[in-house]
Amino acid sequence: MAAIDSFNFSGKKAIIRVDFNVPLNSKFEITDDTRIQAAVPTIKKVLNDGGAVILMSHLGRPDGEVNEKYSLKHIVAGVSSILGVAVKMAPDCVGADVKKMAAELKSGEVLLLENLRFHKEEEKGDEGFSKQLAELADVYINDAFGTAHRAHASTTIIAKFAKDKLAGYLLDKEIKFLGDTVANAQKPFVAIVGGAKVSGKLEVLKSLISKVDTILIGGGMAYTFLKAQGHSVGGSLVELDLVDTAKQILIDAKAKGVKFMLPVDNLAADKFDNAADILTVGNDIPDGRMALDIGPKTTAAYAAEIASAKTVLWNGPMGCFEMSNFSKGTFGVCQAVADSDAISIIGGGDSVAAVNLSGLADKMSHISTGGGASLEFLEGKDLPGVTAIRG
């Protein structure tokens, strides 16, 4: 797969698929610019070479309709400030006016296209729409790992019409860490898997069992496993239809010699509320209570396991960390990962939010920008957006 380091963009226009699907508040101000910051090295490479940049992204889910709420014009000032360049805003992402603006773009200038998903053709992967995007520039760069698992026009189909197609720095880094580092992990390799449901992480767990030495389970999914072991789970989140699957995962892990650790104590609340009455209980959750976080003994046991690791992969929180009284497990694990000497890969989604909230993001080797894309890549699936630029 061609990387951008070896390419000279002097005098060329590069159309870059970025993931600027950033959160905005009620005043349409950017509340977290992580995704924009992540794209800066790729954009700067093109500009520093003497090229021009056309940025394309989606924002929210406008479902193929023009919706002021999801206009990328809301982020122009933020992107301009971060890049130190006065970014031009296009009225659309295709059409005569956009084509004219792209043609007149000079070296060192940046043009931001309007939300791709204002057109139904984007998510449908329409070839005509893809061709119109490709014709705006000389080179296509994909730097949006978060959407690489979708065969959309701007992430995949456009590559058919681009003479030069490249991976941006961010996409290249994601592939290196989530692909190469996981596949050839230094041992001991510890995976921390949390989140609400087993169903969302089923394929990841199956894939990891053949790669890791230890799996640490937290979050709501832990109680499906505890149920599979015969424990009572009270009112905790449990997927009854996956209890047998959980039993099989435990059997498979044992057969592979993988240490599969489940909570030994839990914070059991009488209601789903930060002000709930909380009891610290063992593996059996009393009736009328729900487990919302791992307990202190579990946190300590997991931290000890993480301390001896050479590679750590973390996907999913240990509890309802958004509520302060149920955040200690997640933040305790986060601190343990930060304190370890391991290569640490944070695999997208809520675990990224937890790491950012903890203030320990700079202690992690790699924080993935992809949610669903990270999961699918870890499952061993081909991502259309990655495959397209390899071709």
Give the catalytic positions in this structure: 35, 197, 349, 372
**CA-to-CA distance for 86 and 107, rounded, in angstroms?**
13
Question: Tokens at residue 155, please?
Answer: 């992430």
Cβ atoms of 226 and 283 closer than 8 Å: yes
Question: What does the longest C-alpha to C-alpha distance in the chain come to?
Answer: 69
Q: How many CB atoms lie within 10 A of CB 276?
A: 18
Residue written as tokens 């065969």? 151
Closest alpha carbon to 233 in 223, 243, 225:
223
Q: Is 202 exposed, middle or buried (0-12, 13-18, 19+ CB in 10 A)?
A: middle
Residue written as tokens 């997991």? 302
**CA-to-CA distance for 1 and 165, rounded, in angstroms?**
9
On the CB side of 175, how many CA atoms lie within 13 Å of its CA?
A: 23
Q: What is the DSSP string of 175-213?
A: IIIIIIIHHTPPSSEEEEE-SS-STTTHHHHHHHHTT-S
Question: Tokens at residue 301, please?
Answer: 């046991």
**CA-to-CA distance for 22 and 230, rounded, in angstroms?**
43
Give residue 40's Cα distance to chain centre.
18
Closest alpha carbon to 317 in 304, 332, 307:
332
